[in-house]
Amino acid sequence: MTVRPIILAAGVGKRMKSSLPKVLHRICGRPMIHYVLEAVHAAGLAQPVLVVGRGAEAVRAELGDVATFVEQAEQRGTAHAVQVGLEALPDASTILVLYGDVPLLAPGTLRRLLDHHRDARPGITLLTARLADPNGYGRVIRSPAGTVARIVEDADASPEERAIGEINAGTYIFEGALLREGLGHVRPANAQGEYYLTDVAAWALTRGARVDPLTVADPTEVLGVNSRRDLARAEAAMRDRLLAALMDAGVTVVDPATTYVHAGVVVGEDTVLHPGTSLEGETRVGRGCVLGPQARLVDASLEDGVTVLASTVTRSSVGEGTHIGPYSHLRPGCRIGRRVEIGNYAEIKNTTVGDGTKIHHKSYLGDATVGERVNVGAGTVTCNLRDRSGKKWPTVIEDEAFIGSDSMLVAPLRIGRGATTGAGSVVTKDVPPGAVAVGVPARVIRRSEVTG
């Protein structure tokens, strides 16, 4: 059985009140449509057809060539959207229909749906869910044999039918010929004047076709995102899923309710995530790290044994055993070595820092190369902006240099190996290896040979 997926992603999303296409709103760092596509791929299905509408170009730009795109120029309901999608699948014998705004549907659930349809061969297999509060959803009325007898919309249901907790989750597998014929019988006989896919199932039942229900194990999987409130609920459910996977892999999450993680983040065993930690983008964290409280990592790469306390690390790499924080900020482009100490209120940007260096407090290093075992005193600043064009000039501090507190290093500048700058110095000229420079402007007052 070859199944071709159609993903409906053309909805306007009026309740979102947004200029962004609904399926591009992010959940745990990724547009929600990515989760649907990943589930389809993980279930072993062929490249899907994606039906797009408003914002089609933005959706295409985000997704590239992972789907075959067809455009529903006029939104006339879900049945019409499927009809548009079928134009790209003229010979498909079995069709899976699912929604681009249902991001929590798991690959395992899709596989169960596919297996049932393949083995039982009904005309339609319909995914259902049992909800504690089914108000607003179409109810699934089963026959004595357990198949679907009717689907009753909430507004049309009797009190007895409203008491039924099983609802239509909106994901279907259709036999292709039945779907095509059924679409021809759907009429817009509703207040919205739209063509509804549920009417195809209703028509199929009148023709004696068998419609099998398959109940999802976890009802949160079928949560649709139609509003900002739904978006927040989906974010929370996805975050719970991601944190559970991390904990199962040996990561300690002290307080999942206040820990935030994006899809795609990797964290090694025995790492501890304290409250207020946020791991975003393509962050990679090694084993035995301690993050937080209040640590934020964005596209960061941390080797084993790193501590980040109440600090931000963005698009930077950090070597083994380094300690960062509290209240430090590593801006993009930093390459921090092993066993480095970066302390209170240090800001570093586009800078390489060698092993064993200490930058303990209230310093700014930008566009610099700092060697190994350097001590950077409190209040040190690399003055790297030199002209109106915004060009940044480099500072080089060689191994084992000692930079005194409140040193102003006016780039371009090189501080030689083992050199010292005095507290409060404004250094405008290179300092030779082993020399001592003090004053405003700084002058070399002592020179010495550096060996080794």
Alpha helices per DSSP H over 259-388: none
Question: 3-222 sits in which CATH class?
Answer: alpha beta
Q: If you ran DSSP here, which 8-state letter would residue 388 be given?
A: T
Give the pLDDT confidence of 252-311 residue by residue, as tens digits: 999 999 999 999 999 999 999 999 999 999 999 999 999 999 999 999 999 999 999 999
Give the pLDDT confidence of 119-153 residue by residue, as tens digits: 999 999 999 999 998 988 889 999 999 999 999 88
Better pLDDT: 254 or 451: 254
CATH 3.90.550.10 placement within the chain: 3-222
CATH 2.160.10.10 placement within the chain: 250-446
Residue 79, phi then psi, degrees to nearest 5? -65, -40
Record: fold of 250-446: UDP N-Acetylglucosamine Acyltransferase; domain 1 (2.160.10)
Residue in the block written with tokens 């547009």: 31
SS3 371: coil
The CA R_g of the chain, rounded to the nearest whole Å, is 30
Q: State yes or no: cis peptide before 90, omega within 30 of 0.
A: no
**Tokens matching residue 437:** 């420079």
**In the structure, what pLDDT confidence band is assigned to residue 324 with cuts at 50, 70 and 90?**
very high
Please, are residues 144 and 204 in contact by the beta-carbon 8 Å criterion? no
SS3 257: helix
> Beta-carbon neighbour count of residue 358 at 10 Å?
17
Which residues are catalytic, by number? 361
pLDDT at 193: 77
